[in-house]
């Protein structure tokens, strides 16, 4: 992984941040993005440097804003020309019964988790050298009450990933599906995010096999 350029969206927090640390430890060049958490993003960037990242780059990114995606893609292309892996991780959850899901929460989840991930992939695809890992979810394989809209987005991410992999056979494309993980999104309940980061790392490095467009379920690798 030394010197590999790894772009991780939503790396100011949770699973994305731990994934940035995991790649930093291997001497990768890590591109981090934050949305609202600039100070957290800056702290994560500094930690990546201390852990051994060969290079780091921190960007603001709002995946619900097409201009923000375009601006980020332009900056990344200008600085690096190519990225080895794109890890689409940014995501949100509004946990509540469907009848209480407001229009704003419906939009926020679909636009961040699904539309944002698709647009980010579209903008970065010309620069991706080796592969794309989409962070979907156990809730993209099985439905859970109070997560109706979130499940719709994550099932959607898996469908998108499967089709994309058929069109781009030279790239390694697939989903890593975490189960409940202790981050802000889950109210800090679940497995340590470092375990998910480890599975992402092993998937990218090839230690864990992934079929084209397929799923790597975190609970299968680290029970």
Token pair for residue 67? 């201009």
Under the binding rule (CB under 6 A), the answer on residue 16 touching ligand NAP is yes
Separation of CA 82 from chain center: 18
Cα-flanking dihedrals φ and ψ of residue 152, to 5°?
-60, -40
Catalytic choice (80, 150, 188, 201) = 150
Which one of 190, 194, 214, 219 is in contact with ligand NAP (CB under 6 A)?
Answer: 190
Quote the CA–CA distance of 74 and 115 in Å, as a whole number.
19
Stretch that binds ligand NAP, among 13-21, 71-79, 123-131, 161-169 (CB under 6 A): 13-21
Instruction: Indicate whether 148 belongs to the interface with ligand NAP (CB under 6 A).
Output: no
Q: How many residues bind ligand NAP (CB under 6 A)?
A: 30
* Interface positions, 89-108, toward ligand NAP (CB under 6 A): 89-92
Residues 6+ apart with CB under 8 A from 2: 26, 27, 28, 54
Answer for which of 5, 6, 21, 34 binds ligand NAP (CB under 6 A) is 34
Q: Which helix (H) or strand (E) holds 167?
A: helix 148-167
Rounded distance between C-alpha atoms, residue 168 and residue 209, angstroms:
18
Query: In terms of CB distance, is 46 or 81 closer to ligand NAP?
Result: 46
Is residue 63 a contact residue for ligand NAP (CB under 6 A)? Answer: yes
Contact flag: residue 185 with ligand NAP (CB under 6 A) = yes
Give the binding range for ligand NAP (CB under 6 A) out of 23-31, 61-69, 77-85, 162-170. Answer: 61-69
DSSP strand pairing (29-34 vs 55-60): parallel
What are 24's two structure tokens?
């930093």
| Contact call for residue 134 and ligand NAP (CB under 6 A) | no
- Separation of alpha carbons 41 and 32, rounded Å: 7
Is the CB of 169 or the CB of 175 nearer to ligand NAP? 175
Catalytic: 80? no
User: 56 or 137: whose CB is closer to ligand NAP?
Assistant: 137
Q: Which among 63, 50, 59 is positioned nearest to 21, based on CA atoms?
A: 50
Written as six digits, the tokens of 22 are 């995991």
Residues with active-site annotation: 150
Kindly list the residues in this chain that would bind ligand NAP in the complex (CB under 6 A): 9-10, 12-16, 34-37, 61-64, 89-92, 112, 135, 137, 178, 180-181, 183-186, 190
């Amino acid at each position: 992984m030394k010197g590999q350029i790894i772009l991780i969206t939503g790396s100011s927090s949770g699973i994305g941040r731990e994934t940035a640390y995991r790649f930093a430890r291997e001497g990768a060049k890590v591109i981090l993005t934050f949305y609202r958490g600039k100070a957290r993003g800056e702290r994560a960037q500094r930690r990546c440097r201390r852990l051994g990242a060969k290079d780091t780059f921190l960007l603001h990114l709002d995946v619900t804003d097409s201009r923000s995606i375009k601006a980020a893609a332009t900056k990344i292309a200008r600085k690096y020309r190519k990225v080895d892996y794109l890890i689409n991780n940014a995501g949100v959850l509004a946990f509540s019964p469907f009848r209480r899901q407001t229009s704003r929460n419906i939009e926020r989840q679909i636009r961040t988790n699904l539309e944002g991930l698709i647009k980010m992939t579209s903008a970065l695809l010309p620069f991706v050298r080796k592969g794309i890992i989409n962070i979907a979810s156990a809730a993209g394989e099985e439905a859970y009450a109070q997560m109706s809209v979130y499940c719709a987005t994550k099932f959607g991410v898996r469908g998108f990933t499967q089709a994309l992999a058929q069109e781009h056979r030279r790239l390694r494309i697939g989903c890593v599906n975490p189960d409940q993980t202790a981050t802000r999104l889950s109210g800090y309940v679940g497995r340590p995010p470092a375990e998910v980061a480890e599975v992402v790392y092993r998937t990218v490095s090839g230690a864990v096999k992934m079929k084209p467009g397929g799923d790597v379920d975190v609970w299968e690798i680290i029970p």
